[in-house]
Amino acid sequence: MDKKLISVQETVEEQINIEETLAEYDTSSNTRNLKGNVAKLVGILAIAMSLFHLYTAGLGSLLVMKQRSTHLLFVLSIGFLLYPISKTRNKNKIPFYDWIFAGAGVVVTSYIFLNFESIVRRGGMPTTLDIVFGITAVLLVLEMTRRSIGPELPIIAVIFIAYAFAGPYLPGVLGHRGYTLRRLVNQLYMTTEGIFGTPLGVSATFVFMFILFGSFLEITGVGQFFIDLAFSIAGHKKGGPAKAAVLASGFMGSISGSSIANTVTTGAFTIPLMKKVGYKPNFAGAVEAAASTGGQILPPVMGAAAFIMSEFTSIPYITIVKSAVVPALLYYLGVTVMVHLQASKQGLVGIPKEELPDLKATFSSGFHLLLPLIAVVGFLVKYSPLKAAFNSIIIALVVCLFRKHTRIKPAAILYALEDGAKKAISVASACACAGIIVGIVTLTGLGLTFANLIVSFAGGKLLPTLILTMVASIILGMGLPTTAKYIVLATMAAPALVQLGVPLIAAHLFILYFGVIADVTPPVALAAYAGAGIAGGDSFKTGLQALKLGSAGFIVPFIFAINPSLLLINVSPIGAIVTIATACVGIISFGAGIQGYLFTHARHYERALLLAAALMLIHPNVVIDGIGLGILAVIAITQHKRYKSENEDTREVIVENRVILSNSGNK
């Protein structure tokens, strides 16, 4: 870290234990603290897992079932050794039953790998041994998922399994003919429609490689570079630490797969500084949570959901990234505007420049660390995401050698290989568990039934359907990691929107947005609660503040679902520029309406008009945009005049007080 930020580090060390906070709010961080030979064994397995995926990414992956079964073999064997059965259990050693679980994971996955050809020849006629291993595999996946991400997704999966059996006893459209244990095991264990389905397939290729890419970026020091760069750009401005937090969290969140982890790691530096310049704890924690959550919708990586979206929709990955850029930037603009207006309301200033890293020096010392991120975007245009991630890891290893202070030792490379594999365990477990849900939805046709129910309940109208889908997405998104929540929502909620004519990419981005925004939506706003834990604020109040800061994320998806111009679909270059420009102005108006402040405190009717103008400006329509601009201009002029008048009155009072004091002194 720059020596001028030493005081920041000291503040952090006094107030925050990052690992404890992560373990409290992020189940995927609740791992054992292993030592000795056992720790070495787990480390060797993790490194082997990363080397396997690097090998298949560089030289070509195996047959689908063999690639996915090997991936799950590593996940289950490492996972049961790494994650305890509960938070309260002894984390320093591995009990005998977890060795059994890990061994069972190796057996049930190796069985698929070694017997793949004979399973294919049997063609849906599982043997007794198939059924035993299939039931064991399902139970192991459910338990591994519970340990690594919490009980929510496994509970949903169990409900779906029960639904597969209970079909004949259910009334109305939810009823179906029901399925035998043999049929269900065949679907979930012996085909690519269950555990080894598309979600695990994406985890075994694109997702793992991008998680590993993130680990390699971390060892090069890019995280600290992002933080220093953000503070050197924005730290000295009005409310500077909060703006720097938005920038740094956006940078980190775009390559991070967890809103909570990003909140804790970046917030460890930014939250104490926000409090130092005058932001209240609840607001400081909320800023970090809202900014970190936004990283899950910010290209190029988007919390790995973009890769799964590409597989589900058959839309090229680069097309998804292009469409996601403008809405994501509007979200961040909304957070930044509200941070600035809050600072204006409180009269908060930034950190003196002399206490911050120098922009020129910071950029000069670390600009080469940005090359892998630039390269990955370029590679994504030309190659598959798998090849792009592989090439970008090579670039990251090469560019860190350019400068002496960023060169890494072989031990650091081994650490990155181990760290990447361990981070992938929770994501892969969630994907395997989500595969159970997808498999049963495919088997029973529940996805179409659920979509028909939503459309029917909404009377076949688009806006009510969007609202119902939003509510379903937020509820299903609470407590789940980004990849898992997207998979569930893509299966259950997106088809309802597509039925009513919403473009496929708009429908899937819509559910992703609201699934992600669940991380800052009380009562289960996990990212906000993590921010509150660091800031020392009230969890629920921090959640409400984070929801307020991220409220642009509630408006923008409705706009692009109704009119997909914001996604740059079927729009000319000039039209795109106009759409983006008016949407940006609309977000500023929206932020002012939410905060009740533009140039000065807004009156009630002004707030209502600001919000109305915002909706008009964000909606892509020339006439409506013109009306919105007119309303905003009138309020801006009115407020600016009132602001000048208030300042003149304040100056007159100051002059009068000085005269009084001067006369008193003369007497």
Helix, strand or coil for residue 200?
helix
Among residues 528, 546, 570, the one where a domain terminates is 570
Q: What pLDDT does residue 532 have?
A: 87
517's enclosing H/E stretch is helix 504-517
- 260-294: burial string, b at 16+ Cβ within 10 Å, e else: bbbbbbbbbbbbbbbbebebbbbbbbbbbbbbbbb
For the record, the structure tokens of 505 come out as 């990419």
234 and 280 assigned to the same domain: yes
Residue 617 lies in a domain: yes
Torsional sign, CA 361, 333, 606, 597: negative
CA–CA–CA angle 223, 229, 230 (5° rounding): 95
Q: Residue 591 belongs to what domain range? A: 571-667
646 and 505 assigned to the same domain: no
Residue 431 lies in a domain: yes
Q: Is the pLDDT of residue 169 over 80?
A: yes
Distance CA 134, CA 181 (A): 10
Q: Is the pLDDT of residue 412 over 60?
A: yes
DSSP string computed for 222-275: HHHHHHHHHHHHHTTSTTHHHHHHHHHHHHHHTT-S-HHHHHHHHHHHHHHHHH
280 and 167 assigned to the same domain: no
* Cα-to-chain-centroid distance, residue 181: 36
Residue 216 lies in a domain: no
Give the pLDDT confidence of 41-50 residue by residue, as tens digits: 999 999 999 9
147 and 240 assigned to the same domain: no
For the record, the structure tokens of 83 come out as 């994650």
* Cα-to-chain-centroid distance, residue 178: 37
Among residues 535, 570, 605, the one where a domain terminates is 570
pLDDT-based confidence at residue 250 (cuts at 50, 70, 90): confident
Distance CA 298, CA 313 (A): 19
* Cα-to-chain-centroid distance, residue 504: 21
Residue 620 lies in a domain: yes
523 and 628 assigned to the same domain: no
If we measure between CA atoms, which residue out of 223, 221, 229 comes closest to residue 364? Answer: 229
pLDDT-based confidence at residue 429 (cuts at 50, 70, 90): very high
Contacts of 291 (CB under 8 A, 6+ apart): 245, 246, 248, 249, 250, 253, 266, 332, 335
Residue 365 lies in a domain: yes
Residue 538 lies in a domain: yes
364 and 240 assigned to the same domain: yes
Burial class (CB in 10 A: 0-12, 13-18, 19+), 251: buried
47 and 162 assigned to the same domain: yes
Distance CA 485, CA 296 (A): 12
Segment 505-519 mean pLDDT: 89
Contact 39, 167 (CB under 8 A): no
Q: What pLDDT does residue 663 have?
A: 56
297 and 367 assigned to the same domain: yes
pLDDT-based confidence at residue 380 (cuts at 50, 70, 90): confident
617 and 545 assigned to the same domain: no
Among residues 520, 548, 570, the one where a domain terminates is 570
156 and 253 assigned to the same domain: no
Residue 266 lies in a domain: yes
508 and 583 assigned to the same domain: no
For the record, the structure tokens of 272 come out as 């104490």
Distance CA 227, CA 246 (A): 10
Cα→Cα distances 251→240, 258, 260, Å: 17, 13, 15
Contacts of 159 (CB under 8 A, 6+ apart): none
Give the pLDDT confidence of 482-508 residue by residue, as tens digits: 778 888 888 888 898 998 899 999 999
73 and 180 assigned to the same domain: yes
Terminal Cα distance for the chain, rounded: 57
Residue 434 lies in a domain: yes
123: left (phi over 0), alpha (psi -120 to 50) or beta: left
Give the pLDDT confidence of 546-562 residue by residue, as tens digits: 999 988 888 889 888 88
Distance CA 586, CA 238 (A): 22
Give the pLDDT confidence of 79-99 residue by residue, as tens digits: 999 999 887 666 778 999 999
Contact 508, 494 (CB under 8 A): yes
Number of domains in the chain: 3
- pLDDT exceeding 90 applies to what percent of the chain? 33
| Top-confidence residue, 365 or 29 | 365
Distance CA 111, CA 135 (A): 13
Give the pLDDT confidence of 251-286 residue by residue, as tens digits: 777 666 677 777 887 888 788 888 888 888 999 999
